[in-house]
Amino acid sequence: MKLKIERFLFFSVLTFFLVGCQTNEGIQERQTDTSVETTNNLTEEEQEAIDNGYPIGKYRMFLSENNKKSTEEMAFFLENNFLEKNVLQIENQVDASKKVNVIVYSMRYSPEDERYTLGVFYVNTSDTNIKKVKLMAKPKFKTLGEEGEFGEIEYEGEDFPDLPTNGIVAKVISANAPISYLEKLKENTGDDITIEIKELEINGEQVENVN
């Protein structure tokens, strides 16, 4: 039986972490007043990171306009150094021969909903600023004999920043998976989960994912 993806759901990064994930311990839900206080007392360096990206080695983490509109999401990024630790953990998985890398950095599974949720980084390794991206994506799990099916993903406008070369943006993918897969899913660690992509479009132009 195929691990069928009936549809992709896209949530804020904050929503994903607040419901819990396996690779990020100790991240708890912040109270609204704490979030407001955090975003109302920005340092010059924090404002610079929000406006122009947060540097992490050769890469830079960017927020979408929708991220910036949410005090909770802003507080989350600020309190967790723009996911710097997660970026450093997946840095060796970035393939510079591709125009776009989609790399999984965290996963959780909800037995009640029979859904898995992946935290993913979109990394622009092309020589073009990406303002709009569309692609077909298929999760691949090392511990499963079956693969998922391709699902369409598209981001633009306030959901996606003007992403320069070596820019990164964090997103979330959720899809159906029967509870019979739970134990096998839990065995996946590190780079055991990969995302195969095809039919890539950058800024409205269909391209091969090769530099």
Structure confidence by residue, pLDDT tens digits, 162-171: 999 999 999 9
Q: Taking Cα atoms as reference points, which of 96, 61, 79 lies closest to residue 209?
A: 96
- For residue 72, the model assigns a pLDDT of 85
Long-range contacts, 54-59 (Cβ 8 Å, 24+): 54/81, 54/82, 54/84, 56/82, 56/84, 56/87, 56/88, 56/168, 57/87, 57/88, 57/91, 58/166, 59/87, 59/91, 59/123, 59/166, 59/167, 59/168
User: If pLDDT is split at 50, 70 and 90, which confidence band does 175 have?
Assistant: confident
3-state secondary structure of 172: strand
The mean pLDDT of the chain is 82
Residue for token pair 């910036």: 68
Angstrom distances, CA of residue 160 to CA of 15, 134, 154, 189 = 17, 11, 9, 28
> Rounded CA gap, 29 and 17, in Å?
8
| Residue 113, phi then psi, degrees to nearest 5 | -95, -10
User: If pLDDT is split at 50, 70 and 90, which confidence band does 143 have?
Assistant: confident
User: If pLDDT is split at 50, 70 and 90, which confidence band does 173 have?
Assistant: confident
Top pLDDT among 13 and 74 is at 74
Would you list the domain boundaries of the chain? 13-206
Strand partners, 60: 55, 167
User: If pLDDT is split at 50, 70 and 90, which confidence band does 188 have?
Assistant: confident
3-state secondary structure of 11: coil
3-state secondary structure of 180: helix
- For residue 207, the model assigns a pLDDT of 98
Q: What is the mean pLDDT of residues 25-41?
A: 50
Mind listing the pLDDT tens digit for each residue in 78-128?
A: 988 999 999 999 999 999 999 999 999 888 888 888 888 888 999 999 999
Are 122 and 91 in contact by the 8 Å Cβ rule? The answer is: no
Mind listing the pLDDT tens digit for each residue in 73-85?
A: 888 889 889 999 9
User: If pLDDT is split at 50, 70 and 90, which confidence band does 41 have?
Assistant: confident
- For residue 145, the model assigns a pLDDT of 66
